[in-house]
Amino acid sequence: MQVLDLRNIQHKDSPIYYRRFYAGTIVMEIMRQNVERDIEFTIETTPLGSKNIKVTFSGPVDYPMVPLLKEVKSYLDEFDRKGGLPV
């Protein structure tokens, strides 16, 4: 399982400055097939500077959720560090 791309990223307004809401389409390679799913995710910055990422898939994914969420959260964290997410 590998995350290939994040497309159609939309930032949703939030009155809480340390919580950012996004929606988009994620492209993953699962068992040698490219799969696209719509996702919503939240990136919350804690008072100590670490980030908590929560991900929700709009449809079912035919893959175990624990390794899938770990890979997606890692990808989103790296994507955010590189400045790929809109502010």
30 within 8 A of 51, measured Cβ to Cβ: no
42: closest CA among 78, 12, 4, 5? 12
- Whether 87 maps to a domain, the answer reads no
Whole-number Å distance between alpha carbons of 24 and 42 = 12
This prediction's pTM: 0.91
Domain carrying residue 75: 2-81
- Whether 57 maps to a domain, the answer reads yes
- Whether 86 maps to a domain, the answer reads no
Q: Using CA of residue 21, residue 23, residue 24, residue 28, what is the dihedral sign? A: positive
Per-residue pLDDT tens for 58-73?
989 889 999 999 999 9
- Whether 10 maps to a domain, the answer reads yes
Per-residue pLDDT tens for 6-55?
999 999 998 988 999 999 999 999 999 999 999 999 999 999 999 999 99
In this prediction, residue 74 carries a pLDDT of 96
7 within 8 A of 27, measured Cβ to Cβ: yes
* Tally of domains in the chain: 1
- Whether 49 maps to a domain, the answer reads yes
